[in-house]
Amino acid sequence: MTVNLNQQHADKQLSHPKYRPDIDGLRAIAVLSVVIFHAFPTWVKGGFVGVDIFFVISGFLISTIIFENLSKDSFSFFEFYSRRVKRIYPVLLVVLSVCFLFGWFALLADEFKILGKHLAAGAGFVSNLVLWSESGYFDNAADTKPLLHLWSLGVEEQFYIIWPLLAWFAWKKKFNFLWVSFSILLVSFLLNIVQVHSNATATFYSPQTRFWELLIGSSLAYVKLFKSDLLDNLPPNAKNLSSVIGLTLIGLAVTTITKESAFPGWWALMPTVGTALIIAAGMGAWVNQKVLSNKILVWVGLISFPLYLWHWPLLSFEHILISELPTPKVRIIAILAAFVLAWLSYQFVEKPLRFRKDKKVTIILFSLMIAVGLVGYVTYLKDGLKSREVANLQVVNQGDVGHDEFREYYQAHFKLCTPLAIRKEALPWKDTVRCFQSKEGQIDTVIIGDSHAEHLFLGLAEELKNKNVGYYIKSGLPIISNKEFSAIFNEVANNQKITTVIMSSYWSQRLKEVPTDSSFKNELQKTINMLNKHNKNIYILDDTPNFSFSPKNCKFSGSYLRWHTCEDEATFFGKQKARYIHTLDDIEKVNLNVKILRTTQLFCDENFCYMAKNGELLYRDPNHLSINGSRFVAKNIILSNSNLSQ
């Protein structure tokens, strides 16, 4: 037999494994785990392992087809890939097209640009490689990537391209399929173990650290086909035990693995081995027959692929349009809509095309996927097609709305901070050192804290023209017991030129960093005492409000698809402020040289807090001031505290 890519074997019909409803039941468990995790991540913290269940199932079914047909001299590359195209492309094309059309009317230019990039990656089945270069699967930005979930499809398709060729080569060279499968499995698994701690993102997305999961299925396929007596002759109790252990492992994986776990790593053995044990148990096992083969799970399993494709774009677009996590009710509606769309896609898109024997269908589907990919790529190259109406909707003066613009202004208008020892320890932003001062020479006024101190600097530096203002920041609570701030407080205390210290921090979030054997009040007072010994004038900012939505919601409106808001109920920030403001008040009462700089009233009245004032946007994200915002706050601080400028 000569297996090739030409028409020689195009007419051969590949034999397929006998249908097993329990495997559809497994698919149902996999997809439901993922869907629930994405909608309600606190319910099933390890629900993302559903993808690993899919990997084992795919490896088992695909390898069964490949091994069986190679052994029967009936394998055709054309037929194999044609079936893959007709199985995967129809619904995927619909989902990609709908996402693009919805994005056209709903997304801002930067959002649409990213969608175009991911559209092209999804059409080319390289989403995992593109996402690998961007960020992690569990970071905050992931929620605003409607095609994030296609990373797993990329891994599978890359396996489908490489594995049939390797299997064919092994068959030609008369290598044992099991030996080849297990050898590559072992290498892939070891790479996963070695790299998961040093490069977690790469290990999560990389095909070479994921293929072992599919190869577990491949190894099982070999045993099922060529060593079936090993499994068939097992007593019923052993098969029942295998399926029970398998289901237990999956259950433990879903409930105990979290996004903080070093995953995949060793943790991925739980869902993958669990899946393999269930498949190996066979249809006769009680769990397979009574639990996994019930009609409801089988139905969900049948629509699992379109359900997987639809659910995440719906949840992600909700998040983008609201600029915050949607309410549980809205998320439930999205999931119900995903089920409806999945069933419609299965009935009217997947089924009619999947089993069509016309070769033209394969060619048309392949051509359409190329076209969709090109559309996405052009959208990316054209920066999100800014000529679209929604890309230019503005309701307030935008000022700067991004972190890059904010820090570029610092670089252009201020000097790098002194002394050099402090600058060397400064936090970075890309290639920028986040430590500046308003003029050359010794500073006399210093702002200490985290990024909430940094965003205050710009306005104060411009308002206090007769002062040399600088800022020293770390990502932590600015107290002397925090080792991160040791060098900073030592420099400030011993530098007689520094007469004024302004402390500012994201207090509500930093309270958790207080030592367990102390209190926020005690730690802050110790810090004040140290500064008092060196005759510093001390000011503490009460912190500007943080909001539940993105500035984009405030900046853009006018489209019925953008759910516009520019205000929050005052209780949103008020509840957080109540956790620390009484401590700041008490510190002010007992320390004559401590003054609280109160800024909340600049943004909030009794009922609402406002992100924009006088038609001007004041924030660049939900809790950081923009250039406009920094100037607005600083101007009002100086008006209320004239001694700061003296």
Count CB-CB contacts under 10 A for residue 637.
22
**How confident is the model at residue 215, as a pLDDT?**
97
- Same domain (yes/no): 293, 420: no
Number of domains, the chain: 2
Q: Within 13 Å, how many C-alpha atoms sit on residue 56's CB side?
A: 26
User: Is 399's pLDDT higher than 70?
Assistant: no
pLDDT at residue number 564: 60
Q: What burial class does residue 630 get, using C-beta atoms within 10 Å of its C-beta: 0-12 exposed, 13-18 middle, 19+ buried?
A: buried
In a domain, 327, yes or no: no
Q: Which secondary-structure segment (H or E) carries 468?
A: none
CA angle 321, 324, 325 (to 5 degrees): 105
Is the pLDDT higher at 351 or at 136? 351
Q: Establish how many alpha carbons lie within 13 A of residue 367's alpha carbon, considering only the half-sphere containing its beta carbon.
A: 6
* pLDDT of 9 over the 50 cut: no
499 and 633 share one domain: yes
Instruction: Express each pLDDT in 522-555 by its tens digit.
Output: 999 999 999 999 999 999 999 999 998 878 777 6
Give the per-residue pLDDT at 549. 80
**Do 421 and 567 reside in the same domain of the chain?**
yes
Domain of residue 36: give its range: 18-82+109-301
Q: Which residue has the higher pLDDT, 321 or 75?
A: 75
More confident residue, 357 or 519: 519
Which of 301, 329, 358 delimits the end of a domain? Answer: 301
Task: State whether 418 and 295 are in the same domain.
Answer: no
455: domain CATH number?
Answer: 3.40.50.1110
Contacts 24+ apart (CB under 8 A), 487-495: 487/421, 487/422, 487/425, 488/422, 488/448, 489/448, 489/527, 489/530, 489/531, 491/419, 491/421, 491/422, 492/446, 492/448, 492/531, 492/534, 492/536, 493/530, 493/531, 493/533, 493/534, 493/536, 494/534, 495/442
Whether 457 is covered by a domain: the verdict is: yes
Same domain for 410 and 266, yes or no, is: no
What span, in angstroms and rounded, lies between the C-alpha atoms of 355 and 599? 66
Which single residue is written with the structure tokens 């709908």?
98
Give the pLDDT confidence score for residue 562 in this predicted structure. 60
Q: Which of 487, 498, 354 is nearest to 427 (CA)?
A: 487
Look at residues 301, 333, 356 and tell me which one is the last residue of a structural domain: 301
**Please, what's the largest Cα pairwise distance for the chain?**
93
The answer to whether residues 69 and 215 belong to one domain is yes
Q: Does residue 390 register a pLDDT over 80?
A: no
Length of the chain: 646
Say yes or no to pLDDT of 329 above 70.
yes
571: in domain: yes
Is 409 found in the same domain as 297? no
How many C-alpha atoms does 325 have within 13 Å on its Cβ side?
8
Q: For residue 278, is it within any domain?
A: yes
pLDDT at 599 exceeding the cut of 70:
yes
**pLDDT, position 642:** 86
Per-residue pLDDT tens digits for 134-175: 876 665 578 889 999 999 999 999 999 999 999 999 999 999
pLDDT digits 0-9 by tens, 615-625: 788 998 889 99
| Residue 385 counted as domain residue | no
Note the pLDDT tens digit of each residue in 222-232.
999 999 888 88
Residue 254 lies inside a defined structural domain of this protein: yes
pLDDT at 3 over 60: no
User: Which residue shows structure tokens 């407080």?
Assistant: 489
Q: Is residue 365 part of a domain?
A: no
**Would the pLDDT of 410 be above 90?**
yes
**How much is the average pLDDT of 75-80?**
93
Cβ contacts of residue 490 below 8 Å, gap of 6+? none
The sign of the dihedral angle between the CA atoms of 485, 491, 494, 499 is negative
Is 325 within the bounds of a domain?
A: no
What is the number of alpha carbons within 13 Å of residue 296 lying toward its C-beta? 4
Q: Which residue has the tokens 């590559």?
A: 184
State mean pLDDT over 120-138.
Answer: 88
Domain end call among 263, 286, 301: 301
Distance separating alpha carbons of residues 73 and 256, to the nearest angstrom? 45
Note the pLDDT of residue 473: 95
Alpha-carbon distance values, 390 to 121, 313, 555 (Å) = 24, 19, 12
pLDDT exceeds cutoff 90 at 267? yes
